[in-house]
Amino acid sequence: MTSTSALSSTSGMTSTSASFVTAVSDKASDSNLNQRQIEFEKNFAKRMDLEPLTSFGADPSTAHSFKLPDDYMTIVATQAADLQASILVHGRLCLTRYHLCFRSNILGIITMKVHSLSDIVSIKKGTTAKWIQNAVYVRVLELDDDDKWVEQHYGYGSLWNRDSLYDALMECWRARSPDRFNAFVEAEGLESENIDIDEQDTEGEAQVTASGDGDGSIPIITKPSGEEYKELALNVKFPLDMEQTFNLLYHNPDFTNHFYTNDKGLTELKISEWEGSGDEGNQRRTLNYIMHMNNSIGPKSSSCNGSETIAIADPQKSYEIVSETQTPDIPSGKSFTIRTRTCLTHDSLNNKQATRIHCTTQVDWSSSSLLKGTITPAVIKGQKEHHQQLIKGMTEWVKSHPGDFKGVDQDKVEIKHEVEIPQTEDTVNEKVGKTLLQYAGDIPDNPVMLAITILFLVLLLLNLRG
């Protein structure tokens, strides 16, 4: 049975409400509803057999003969969602005329929640990351271990179309439990202009606490654009929200100067102001400094000319910054450019809002060089070490300046390394030595080695022909 026919054939919902829910169902569903219906029936059929005993007041002695409504298992709307628990649990939220259901399967660990609409006492819109409007908070009566009815709170975030799902949920709740719905509206008001009930002033309404932050917010998790370079240099979670992390890295001259001069030992540091249009995604600045090296041979220092460009500036999803650096004073320094892409996204750390810092890098050569096979792995290794220094410097700065960062406890500042940074093939070769085939692979990119190889082959052939 389709959701449209189900809504039309069941009592309890007016024709206007049924038409409204049908109209918003597609808007409140993020994928093929028919396929989601099959998955829902497969996953919840056994669980739902127990619900009529409480949801419809059936006598347990006659439960086997009790007939469920035709649309009892019909999905009205469905979206991917995150259940707020001790950690965020990603899964799928499904709304029927009688239940709000959640299911997650992460590496074989299954989490299921079935909330009878007749047992719900409040439904409110909520936020994640304190300002992103993509969550719904639900309070529902449940039996505890002592068989006493208690109110339990559930938060579902990361809803891509929260408002449509909220509207459908409120209409289904009104039809299933009009007394509790009316009592809630009279006390709290409605947060939608689409439901045909006089709105009440909800300004100043208390937020329901749903996370370890104690401020009613659910940590949000977002993903970057997907653009990255060849080598992974850093992948960590940092205990500041994304905006604070971005400002620390790119708009805090005190930290930047301290890190480059004290931690990195750079001299003659000059960093320009951000330039570009008002759109932060088009801004660019330059960095010039002297880098000092501890090489036993070769130059002891080199000038460095760099730039940073904010490629993406979307506070709801990510900040992505591309940097380019040249070191013209070292051998072949004018022949290559070091490129790095730093992606900052919303993430969760210890049940609080955090930032994932994901950095990738590569070395681009504009001309061939005999030193390419030596310089490239050395630069990549240096980039990885630099980013480890950077994250350490950020951590120490936040701990020593707690007043500059809202909601940060300096005694609990920690980072989480998500991925052990792998060694590149070139880095391994640098340590253990290249094979003959690997050296041969470098020949086409090096005209001198190519000429020597051809001459060697000609001499070999002449020698063989005697």
**Token pair of 288 as six digits:** 């010039």
User: CATH homologous superfamily of domain 231-430?
Assistant: START domain (3.30.530.20)
Specify the amino acid at residue 189.
G
Burial (CB < 10 A; 0-12, 13-18, 19+), residue 249, is buried
CB atoms within 10 A of CB 398: 22
98 vs 33: CA distance, rounded Å = 17
Pairing of strands 352-365, 336-349: antiparallel
Query: What Cα–Cα distance (Å) separates residue 176 from each residue in 105, 118, 179, 182?
Result: 29, 6, 9, 12
Ordered DSSP codes for 72-100: TT-EEEEEEEEEESSSEEEEEEEEESSEE
36 vs 165: CA distance, rounded Å = 16
**Token pair of 387 as six digits:** 């980013």
User: Contact, 300 vs 292, CB < 8 A?
Assistant: yes
Confidence at residue 446, expressed as pLDDT on a 0 to 100 scale: 59
232 vs 358: CA distance, rounded Å = 8
β-bridge mates for residue 125, sequence order: 136
User: Contact, 89 vs 111, CB < 8 A?
Assistant: yes
Confidence at residue 243, expressed as pLDDT on a 0 to 100 scale: 93
- Sorted by sequence, the CB contacts under 8 Å of residue 324 that are 6+ apart come out as 306, 307, 337, 338, 339
User: Contact, 331 vs 293, CB < 8 A?
Assistant: no
**Token pair of 365 as six digits:** 């050569």
Q: C-alpha angle with apex 41: 171 to 39, nearest 5 degrees?
A: 100
Query: What Cα–Cα distance (Å) separates residue 338 from each residue in 34, 287, 390?
Result: 50, 14, 17
17 vs 195: CA distance, rounded Å = 9
Q: How many helices (H) and strands (E) does the chain have?
A: 12, 15
**Where are the strands (E) in 293-440, listed by range?**
301-314, 318-326, 336-349, 352-365, 416-417
100 vs 173: CA distance, rounded Å = 10
**Where are the strands (E) in 263-300, listed by range?**
267-271, 284-292
- Sorted by sequence, the CB contacts under 8 Å of residue 6 that are 6+ apart come out as 70, 71, 74, 97
β-bridge mates for residue 360, sequence order: 232, 341
User: Closest Cα to residue 312, out of 255, 256, 363, 358?
Assistant: 358
255 vs 249: CA distance, rounded Å = 8
Domain range 3-188, CATH class: mainly beta
Confidence at residue 299, expressed as pLDDT on a 0 to 100 scale: 74
49 vs 58: CA distance, rounded Å = 12
User: Closest Cα to residue 2, out of 24, 20, 25?
Assistant: 25
User: Closest Cα to residue 219, out of 95, 82, 124, 318?
Assistant: 82
CB atoms within 10 A of CB 132: 20
Q: How many CA atoms lie within 13 A of 404 on its CB side?
A: 15
Residues of the chain with pLDDT under 50: 1-11, 53-54, 57-65, 198-216, 423-437
459 vs 165: CA distance, rounded Å = 79
224 vs 318: CA distance, rounded Å = 6
Phi, then psi, of 454 in degrees rounded to 5: -65, -45
**Token pair of 394 as six digits:** 């950020």
378 vs 359: CA distance, rounded Å = 17
Q: pTM to 2 decimals?
A: 0.50
User: Closest Cα to residue 284, out of 326, 250, 245, 316?
Assistant: 250
User: Contact, 91 vs 105, CB < 8 A?
Assistant: yes
